Structure 1
Amino acid sequence: MAQATEIHRGRKFDQVLNGAREVFLRDGFEGASVDDIAKEAGVSKATLYSYFPDKRLMFLEVTKTECQRQADQALAQINFDQPPEVVLSIAGHQIIDFMASELGQGIYRLCVAEGERFPELGRAFYASGPELVHRTLLDYLKQAVARGELAIDDLDLAAHLFAEMCKADLHAKLVFGVGCCPAASDKDRVIRGAVAMFMARYGTKSD
């Protein structure tokens, strides 16, 4: 039997989506039941199915919505007129905070676990998460180069390098469950190191 491929929005759509978010992050795709989602959302199964004909569509919508919401919040805090040390530090905190958050870890685990089943999930997460961060960094770096604050020959690579440096010593530990959420001092240490290395390579100021 072919699965339905369209979602329908209505008065309780956000209520259903919020309930689905909580259950998917807690139980994963396989472990999440429609009964649990309906209970968490405070709606009947009939109401739930009226918005999402199948669980797969609900899962994809939750992931895209949460990634976009996080990205919008991050973008609102960046002032592109500030110097690189300031903007990169802010961007670094946003990258690490999302990566280390319960939400960020939950979405990462879900994408890895369900990526083979739903390859479009990984693509949707990448487009609304890592790719959006990359484009934002790229836009800022172009402006900083134009102002003479940075000297970069490969902007695309530089943006990728900074984002990866912000994961140093933290991402692998989170993925493999070594320790708990990093302390603020650990985050600050990584960000200071990432910014210092980036500016040493691309900065135009000389002491």
Structure 2
Amino acid sequence: MAKVRSEVTRLAILQAAAQVFKISGFESTTMDAIRDQAQVSKATLYGYFPSKEELFVESLLYEAEAEFDRNLLFNPREIPELKSHLVALAQNMIRFAYSPNGLAIRRLLIASAKNPELGQRCYEHGPQKGKAEMRALLQQAINEGQLKPHDPTISECHLRALIEAEFVDILHFGLNLPLTEEWIQAASQRAISSFLTLYAS
């Protein structure tokens, strides 16, 4: 029972933090504001999350996992239209990775390189799972003859790089470029077409 209550409290804090960060942004948000929103004591808040940085990362990962459609990434049934599936996946990845929150979490991790535990935890909760599911998707396409035989560990890296190729300067240089749906859709088509030129059967 105590474990159930513990998880309920943790989720309540994560939900409260996500709401406050959305309204105020990372820099302006205080732990006191999150404590008030979650209606917990300061000791309880810091018992679960020792720093604002850690809580920010965990709240965004929680929100991303709650909102992300896992069936878009990997469906155990046969994939009849691989290109359409990959294009939809690319669009979904770009929308999250280059949203204000997506950029904020990645920039925070870059700035917090001196805290490898934070980066490792973020990787294990987010990218590591996504990479594994993407490799499974590519392996399934290989098994079905839609892609050439190859090592999906390598092609997964190529696929992610192509998907982000037109947007990565926004992350690294803080460029204020409008992320329009037209750009996302066109860039996704270009990325997947390039990928399939290399790997399609």
Q: What one-letter code is carried by the residue in structure 2 that aligns with 1:203?
A: A
Instruction: Kindly report which structure 2 residues correspond to 1:81-160, keeping only aligned pairs within 5 A, or say none.
Output: 81-82=78-79, 83-116=81-114, 118-160=115-157
Work out the CA distance in 1 between the residues paired with 2:116 and 2:196: 37
Superposed CA deviations along residues 140-165 of structure 1, whole A, max 9, x for unmatched, are 11111111111032211101100111
Structure with the bigger percentage of helix: 2
Give how far 1:51 is off. Answer: 4.0
The structure whose Rg is larger is 1
1:165 lines up with 2:159 in the alignment = no
Work out the CA distance in 2 between the residues paired with 1:76 and 1:58: 32
- Provide the residue aligned with 2:47 in structure 1: 53
- Provide the residue aligned with 2:16 in structure 1: 19
Count of aligned pairs: 191
Work out the CA distance in 2 between the residues paired with 1:98 and 1:132: 15
Structure 1 stretch displaced more, 184-193 or 63-72: 63-72
Work out the CA distance in 1 between the residues paired with 2:185 and 2:8: 43
1:190 lines up with 2:187 in the alignment = yes
- Structure 2 residue runs of 5 or longer lacking an equivalent are none
Structure 1 stretch displaced more, 70-79 or 100-109: 70-79
- Which of 70, 74, 78 matches 2:69? 74
Asked whether the 8 Å contact 2:49–2:55 carries over to 1, the reply is no
1:43 lines up with 2:39 in the alignment = yes
Asked whether the 8 Å contact 1:10–1:51 carries over to 2, the reply is no
Work out the CA distance in 2 between the residues paired with 1:139 and 1:13: 31
- Structure 1 residue runs of 5 or longer lacking an equivalent are 1-7
Work out the CA distance in 2 between the residues paired with 1:15 and 1:71: 15
Work out the CA distance in 2 between the residues paired with 1:33 and 1:65: 14
Relative to the length of structure 1, the TM-score reads 0.78
What is the RMSD of the two structures over their aligned residues, measured on CA atoms?
2.7
Q: What SS does structure 2 have at the residue aligned with 1:53?
A: helix
Q: What SS does structure 1 have at the residue aligned with 2:72?
A: coil
Give how far 1:84 is off. Answer: 1.8
Superposed CA deviations along residues 83-131 of structure 1, whole A, max 9, x for unmatched, are 3202211210121011111221121122122231x21111111222222
Q: What one-letter code is carried by the residue in structure 1 that aligns with 2:44?
A: S
Work out the CA distance in 1 between the residues paired with 2:91 and 2:156: 15
Relative to the length of structure 2, the TM-score reads 0.80
Q: What one-letter code is carried by the residue in structure 2 that aligns with 1:179?
A: N
| Percent of pairs with identical residues | 19
